[in-house]
Amino acid sequence: MTLRRTRAYGTSGLVLAVCIVFAWQNAAAAQNCDAAATPGVNWQDCDKKLLILEGQDLSGANLIGVDFTSTDLRNSNLLAANFEKATLVRASLADSTAKGARFDKIEAYRTDFSHMDAQGAVFTSAEVQRSNFQDANLTNVDFTKAELGRAQFHDADISGSRFSFANLARADFRGATFTAPIDFDRAFFFLTRIEGLDLSNSAGLSQWQLNMACGDARTELPSGLTRPEDWPCSEP
């Protein structure tokens, strides 16, 4: 009886191993770093830095872990593309459509996201310091735990976006607009520029955050919070 059980388990283990090998081979075959930029292409972990890919259709593409350093992706269709853990340092996605795209854990220092339509995109735990989101549509975007130090949000629409636990040190929201509440729960507001913003309907703001931020007499606050006697910032 013991021998039969051993043989049965051995056969099952062999079948499982074969299935794993075939699954790995199929996944590897699906990846094609030489494939043209097309909807749904699988470029996972490929090297695509220093390229001109302006105006391409990468909707639904698997771009996990791709190195897009200094690559031109302007005016591209990035609808529902997956950029998780991709490198986008100094890349440009300006004027692109990226509704529902995944940018989780990307590295994107000094990246240009200006004028991008990224409604419903996800930037959780993304490294996007000094990046430019000017005039971008960021409605319902999730920036939870993102590193956004010195990021620019001039004239961006951030309606319904979530910045909980995000690092917003020296980020600039002047001129940003929102028609739905935004979540700043425990976000780091050191010298964050909020001059002229109506934050009365925002969620998660605490007095300690405002005390280190940069506002002015035009900054509207949620009920129960007060403007500091002296805002930290005086320079333009």
CB 50 within 8 A of CB 68: no
- Burial class (CB within 10 angstroms; exposed 0-12, middle 13-18, buried 19+) of 53: middle
Q: What is the pLDDT of residue 187?
A: 98
Q: Which pTM value belongs to this model?
A: 0.86
Residues recorded for the chain:
236
Cα distance between residue 191 and residue 109, in whole Å: 19
Asked whether residue 189 is domain-assigned, the answer is no
Containing structural domain, residue 4: 1-30
Whether 10 is in a domain gets the answer: yes
Q: How crowded is the C-beta side of 40, counted as CA atoms within 13 Å?
A: 1
Confidence (pLDDT) at 233? 83
Domains contained in the chain, number: 1
pLDDT at 178: 92
User: Is residue 219 in some structural domain?
Assistant: no
Please give the full DSSP string across the chain, using - where no structure is assigned. Answer: -HHHHHHHHHHHHHHHHHHHHHHHHHHHHH--TTS-S-TT-B-TT-B-TT-B-TT-B-TT-B-TT-B-TT-B-TT-B-TT-B-TT-B-TT-B-TT-B-TT-B-TT-B-TT-B-TT-B-TT-B-TT-B-TT-B-TT-B-TT-B-TT-B-TT-B-TT-B-TT-B-TT-B-TT-B-TT-B-SS--B-TT-B-TT-B-TT-B-TT-BS--HHHHHHSB--TT-B--TT----SS-S----
Instruction: For residue 184, tell me if it sits in a domain.
Output: no
pLDDT of residue 234: 66
Residue 22: the pLDDT is: 38
Q: Hey, what amino acid is at 128?
A: V
pLDDT of residue 235: 61
Q: Which residues of the chain have pLDDT under 70?
A: 1-29, 234-236
Query: Considering the domain boundaries, does residue 22 fall inside one?
Result: yes
Predicted confidence at residue 7, as pLDDT, reads 45
Instruction: Identify whether 24 is part of a domain.
Output: yes
Residue 86 lies in a domain: no
- Report if residue 212 sits inside a domain: no
Task: Read off the pLDDT of residues 157-184 as tens digits, 9 standing for 90 and up.
Answer: 999 999 999 999 999 999 999 999 999 9
